[in-house]
Amino acid sequence: MKFVFRVDASFEIGSGHTMRCLTLADVLKDRGHDCEFIVREQPGHLIALIEAKGYFVHALPLPESVTATPDEHAHSHWLPGGQQQDSEDTLAVLQPNECDWLVVDHYGVGAPWETLVRKVCRHVLVIDDLADRAHQCDILLDQNMGRRADDYDKLVPQECVRLIGPQYALLRPEFANWREKSLSRRRQRTELRQLLISLGGVDKDNVTGDVLDALEACALSDSVTMTVVLGQQNPWLEKIQQQAASSRFKVTVKQGVSNMAELMSQADVAIGAAGSTSWERCCLGLPTIMLVLAENQKEVARYLTELGAAISVKISSEDSDCLAVKLDKLQDENFLRGLVDVSSRLIDGKGAERVLGRLE
């Protein structure tokens, strides 16, 4: 079958939508299916990355003049030109009857766009996190903790199949492959020696730098080693490298890594954003201090904190001791072990396989 993905990345959108679509595409490709992408050329796009993974990309140029469109929903501005313009551009790319599945992962897209475009596609899968707008689709995937199927009662057709919850989280196979080794290591060692810092693919406000500054003021032993992972789009590499060089800790800075599961498995604690990487960390039982970097991360952070699967913190100049207090809690072996046990029970890393079973 032929699958076409409509997804964007940019300095504002980030990379998470594209990365989870690539995860699903890789699983589909391994099963012999054909996958292509339709991507708008916004600053910070990931077209080169998608092509490097072997997929054909239909690049949509930015409209020459972007007319302001009514605010249909909170993320309408993520779609330059609006849904009408984007649907026309997408239809110009798609060939009638050649698309078995259209996969849409875009907060700027909703039912008006999907109604027009699905005429040339046999089926539509929508990946969403917000439940804030109507969709015209055959399958709706929302992998978020705390989401319920009835949240979409008035937003999708009655016959739409709803895949709801983190059991459908789209994780790369490497996380399932590293899961047992990671959990086994945590059963044997609960000390904080290796800290992993990863705050998303873009981190446009350089929260990573703020975290490094806050860590310098914490009562952590100088023997703790740190690995900072930056996304390929991160514009702060040079500044972060300068901070790492002057740190009292041994800090290694990496950018655009391809072995994230291995790095997570080697870490004792992570400081990370409460986005899609939350599920990767849970799969590996990695105790995490979460930071909310976007509005759509608040619910994930709240549920994981309430369940005892992670702890959250706000980095601010007004509360510079907050991170130190959270790190101090992680010196308690029983508390640390509890985070490992609860988080690892939430995700088994096989979500992409479950979604695949619904598509074939």
Looking at residue 192, its pLDDT comes to: 87
The neighbouring-strand residues paired with 163 are: 141
Ramachandran class of 329: left when φ > 0, alpha when ψ lies in -120 to 50, beta otherwise = alpha
92 located within any domain: yes
Percent of the chain residues past pLDDT 70, beyond the cut: 96
Annotated catalytic residue: which of 17, 45, 75, 135?
Answer: 17
**Same domain, yes or no: 187 and 329:** yes
**Same domain, yes or no: 77 and 193:** no
Model confidence pLDDT, tens digit, residues 107-124: 999 999 999 999 999 999
With a cut of 80, say whether residue 68 has pLDDT above it.
no
With a cut of 90, say whether residue 173 has pLDDT above it.
yes
Looking at residue 318, its pLDDT comes to: 46
**Same domain, yes or no: 79 and 226:** no
**Same domain, yes or no: 152 and 209:** no
β-bridge pairing 250-255 and 225-230: parallel
What's the CATH code of the domain at 120? 3.40.50.11190
With a cut of 80, say whether residue 57 has pLDDT above it.
yes
Helix axes 333-346, 173-188, angle to 10 degrees: 160
With a cut of 80, say whether residue 18 has pLDDT above it.
yes
Integer Cα distance of 165 and 155 in angstroms: 17
Model confidence pLDDT, tens digit, residues 250-305: 999 999 899 999 999 999 999 999 988 999 999 999 999 999 988 888 888 999 99
**Same domain, yes or no: 103 and 188:** no
What burial class does residue 291 get, using C-beta atoms within 10 Å of its C-beta: 0-12 exposed, 13-18 middle, 19+ buried?
Answer: buried
Integer Cα distance of 327 and 209 in angstroms: 17
**Same domain, yes or no: 149 and 204:** no
Integer Cα distance of 141 and 200 in angstroms: 22
Model confidence at 70, pLDDT cuts 50, 70, 90, reads: low
Q: End of a domain among 135, 164, 193?
A: 164
Looking at residue 187, its pLDDT comes to: 87
360 located within any domain: no
Q: Which residues contact 276 (CB under 8 A, 6 or more apart)?
A: 16, 19, 20, 143, 169, 170
**Same domain, yes or no: 39 and 158:** yes
Q: End of a domain among 113, 132, 164?
A: 164
**Same domain, yes or no: 304 and 232:** yes
Check if the beta carbon of residue 176 is closer than 8 Å to that of residue 261: no
Model confidence at 306, pLDDT cuts 50, 70, 90, reads: very high
Other beta carbons within 10 angstroms of residue 177's beta carbon come to 14
Q: Which among 91, 65, 66 is positioned nearest to 79, based on CA atoms?
A: 66
171 located within any domain: no
With a cut of 70, say whether residue 320 has pLDDT above it.
no
Model confidence at 317, pLDDT cuts 50, 70, 90, reads: very low
Q: Give per-residue burial for 308-344: e unless 16+ CB within 10 Å, then b.
A: ebbbbbebeeeeeeebeebbeebeeeeebeebbebbb
Interval 189-215 mean pLDDT: 90
Write out the residue range of the structural domain in which residue 210 sits.
177-346
What's the CATH code of the domain at 267? 3.40.50.2000
Integer Cα distance of 71 and 135 in angstroms: 17
Active site residue 135: no
Give the pTM. 0.89
Looking at residue 186, its pLDDT comes to: 92
Q: End of a domain among 116, 141, 164?
A: 164
Model confidence at 352, pLDDT cuts 50, 70, 90, reads: very high
Q: Considering the chain, what is the average pLDDT of its residues? A: 92
With a cut of 90, say whether residue 313 has pLDDT above it.
no
Looking at residue 152, its pLDDT comes to: 97
Q: Which DSSP string corresponds to 9-65?
A: -BTTTBSHHHHHHHHHHHHHHHTT-EEEEEEE--TT--HHHHHHTT-EEEEEPPPSS
**Same domain, yes or no: 19 and 102:** yes
The dihedrals phi and psi of 37, each to the nearest 5 degrees, come to: -125, 145
Model confidence pLDDT, tens digit, residues 218-262: 888 899 999 999 988 888 999 999 999 999 999 999 998 999 999
**Same domain, yes or no: 126 and 240:** no
356 located within any domain: no
**Same domain, yes or no: 71 and 208:** no
Specify the DSSP class assigned to residue 151. Answer: G
Count of structural domains within the chain: 2
Integer Cα distance of 276 and 281 in angstroms: 9
**Same domain, yes or no: 116 and 182:** no
In total, the chain counts a number of residues equal to 360
Lowest-confidence segment of 49-53, 119-123, 332-336, 338-342 by average pLDDT: 332-336
